[in-house]
Amino acid sequence: MVVIQSLMLIIDILFPYNLRPLTYLCPVGLEDKAAAGTLVYAPLKGKTRMGIIYGIDSNFKGKPKTLKEISGLCGHRPALPKEMMSLIEWISGHYLSEPGLALSFVLPSVFFTDKTFRQRKRAAAMPKTPFKPLKITKEDLNATDANKPVLFQSPSYDYQMSYICKAAKAAKKALVLCPTVEEAANLGAVFFGITGIRPIIIHGGLTASQRLCAIEEASGGGKYSIVIGTMSAALFPFIKPSLIIVSDEHSPYYKHERTPRYNARDVAVMRASLENIPVVLMSACPSSDSYFKAATSGRYTYYKPAAGPKRPQVSVVASRSFKKLIPDRVTAGIAAAAEKGGKSFVYINKKGYAAIICKDCGHVEKCPVCKTMLTFYDDMTMRCRRCGYSAKPHDFCPVCSGLDMRKVSPGAQQMEEFIREKTGRQPVRIDSDTAKTPAMFKRAASNALKGDVLVGTKLALNKILFSKRFKLLAAVNPDVYFSFPDYLSAERLYQDVLTIAEMAEKDGRLYLLTALKDEPTYKFLEHYDYEGFMANELNKRSELNYPPFWKMAVITLHYNGDRPLDIKLQLKTDTDVQLLGPAASEDTLKGFNQSSHLIIKAKDSALLIAAARQAADELRKLCTKNKIRLIIDIDPV
């Protein structure tokens, strides 16, 4: 750090709020200690607050007399290393947010107080999950590359956990990311059970006391320092890792839902680059973005173990009948499995009983509040899955007065009823209606493990609770994935089917019940041909200039009104930058009744960020005149 020799040093202070760095004077006598990353006390809005030195301002053109002085240095908090300061700057620039917001995700709010907590002794009864690790070869363990990220296609979730335990222990200081709190806690218990080393668990549910204790523990040194956590762990600054591992790197749960809307996987890759350490991205079905960087651009190294555990046989079955939700041979298989003490899992990605549509004009009833399609339930009500609006169904069409109102697109309730009638077995249903709280989910999962048949939506896709539990598995109407207006729909389907396969017993059988038997995605799933699937997907996206070939940003505006806003942007577009929209959207936030969005596509990240920043600057002028909420999402998933 180059310090300007002057009577009064001018420094930029970053506070953990939605602010840019603010300029202050550093008093005489503190210049030698004023380095980037150091915590200081400074006046802000009439109060003394804690901030962090963001940099030395050598280009200040104002009058120094107008600046306030910092009150002093904070000696009871460790400084942020320069790599983390660079990471904050990168997040702020790439995701178009103020650096103060990025800082608030790196350091918890309690860190910017004078509170201190004594280091608590860790509970001696930390759970040890019984887990028999798979054999990891020396070749697999040495797949890491210090020069660029490694995309590791793991053959199974158990293999992934076995690899992480062995690699993290060998690294001694490692940072491991998991998509959910449950998976982080489970991996921590597995790691402790195998190695006897207690990891530090980091996630958004920790209290202020627990966060400070984790910081003190990580900063205390020791032979081993293993941090396992969710997306927030990617920004945990108080560890100097020698290895970073991202498990299930394809998961959308790594994408933050609040500004800055960072992707923890990409943050982990950038952090590894800044700290010059290896990073391993693991998944049984890697994301198209990561695969493209490995197989096409060469930015990543692609590694696939020679062999792995046997997967269940996949059968693609044509299912076109609306009266028979499941073909007879599948229902017979469910009954036969139950007779022999086996379990079955029926996956249907839709809750409720059905949707109601007018046969004459095609009208579908929508929520008057948020414009989402209403779902019919077996208690003779229609409900909105987003805002909770409820109403009785009409006896006739409110548009054309037709009387032929039909129940189509069966949901989990109807599937539960159908299986009970056809097999004589009472299924356990897991969806967001039966498992609204963690306690309700735990109870439903316990009943499912005791029962014969589980009917579930995506909420039931749990590789921890239901790993290797089912003899027969069936995905009903997976074609619904293709109805989503999302270029990632086929990729999501492939990933979810592989998750279902993880829930099968050693000799289990998986049925895909589809009306689109010739859809290429099902052919690739039938043979577990991931590379063939990706080649097909990338070929389609290349023709349409979709990611990963082009970069994408979505800008959404939420507002109130009787009609969509008339949005006109003076955005410079050419062959390298494209603008789609703006267009009205049905996805509205609470407190707003209208929503519009626009999509920006560009050939590379630099062009995308420049175009998105220009568009955001223009739209903010509109926001100042109206009550509008502006959301910028770079690299949406």
* Residues 288-335: tens digit of each pLDDT: 999 999 998 889 999 999 877 789 999 999 887 556 789 999 999 999
- Kindly state the helix (H) or strand (E) to which residue 550 belongs, with its residue range: none
Q: Do 9-112 and 313-353+410-541 show the same overall fold?
A: no
pLDDT-derived band at 121 (thresholds 50, 70, 90) equals very low
Query: Is 502's pLDDT higher than 50?
Result: yes
CA 580 from chain centre, in angstroms, equals 25
Q: Which residue has the higher pLDDT, 381 or 115?
A: 381
CA neighbor of 100 nearest in space, from 632, 239, 91: 91
pLDDT in tens, 4-38: 444 568 899 999 999 999 999 888 888 778 888 99
Flag the least confident range among 208-212, 250-254, 409-413, 496-500. 208-212
Q: Do 73 and 39 contact (CB within 8 A), yes or no? A: yes
Q: Give the residue-averaged pLDDT of 542-566.
A: 90
The per-residue pLDDT for 219 is 75
Topology classification of domain 9-112? GIY-YIG endonuclease (3.40.1440)
Between 58 and 94, whose confidence is greater? 94
Query: How many other CB atoms are there within 10 angstroms of residue 634's CB atom?
Result: 23
Mean pLDDT of 485-496: 93
pLDDT at 193 over 60: yes
DSSP states of 560-585 as a string? -SSS----------BTTEEEEEEEE-
In this predicted structure, the answer to whether residue 58 has a pLDDT above a threshold of 70 is: no
Cα(510)–Cα(316) distance, integer angstroms: 9
117, pLDDT greater than 70:
no
Percent of the chain, pLDDT > 70? 95
pTM, two decimals, is 0.91
**pLDDT of 174 over the 70 cut:** yes
Mean of per-residue pLDDT scores for the chain: 88
Cα–Cα separations (whole angstroms), residue 627 to 4, 105, 559, 613, 622: 44, 27, 6, 20, 9
* pLDDT above 90: percentage of residues in the chain: 57
pLDDT at residue 221 greater than cutoff 80: no
313-353+410-541 carries CATH number 1.10.3680.10: no
Assess whether pLDDT exceeds 50 at residue 275: yes
Determine the pLDDT at residue 1. 34
Sequence spans of domains, the chain? 9-112, 138-303, 313-353+410-541, 551-634
User: End-to-end alpha-carbon separation of the chain, Å?
Assistant: 38
- Which range has highest mean pLDDT (20-29, 127-136, 342-351)? 342-351
Inform me whether the pLDDT recorded for 346 exceeds 90. Answer: yes
Instruction: Band the pLDDT of 254: cuts 50, 70, 90.
Output: very high
Query: Considering Cα of 612, then 618, then 623, then 626, what sign does the dihedral take?
Result: negative
- Looking at residue 30, what is its pLDDT? 83
Higher pLDDT, 296 or 187: 187
Average pLDDT for residues 468-495, to the nearest whole number?
Answer: 93
The 10s digit of each residue's pLDDT in 615-636 is 998 888 888 777 889 999 999 9
* Sheet with 375-376, edge to edge strand ranges: 375-376, 382-383, 390-391
pLDDT classification of 441: cutoffs 50, 70, 90: very high
pLDDT at 241 over 80: yes
| Number of alpha carbons in the 13 Å side-chain half-sphere of residue 102 | 26
Distance, in Å, from the CA atom of 637 to the CA atom of 635, rounded to the nearest integer, reads 7
pLDDT tens digits along 76-92 = 677 889 999 999 999 99
Q: How far is CA 449 from the centre of its chain?
A: 27
Q: Given a cut of 90, is residue 380 above it in pLDDT?
A: no
The pLDDT of residue 421 is 92
Please check the confidence at residue 267 and state whether its pLDDT lies above 80: yes
Q: Do the Cβ atoms of 634 and 256 come closer than 8 Å?
A: no
Q: Which CATH superfamily is domain 138-303 in?
A: P-loop containing nucleotide triphosphate hydrolases (3.40.50.300)
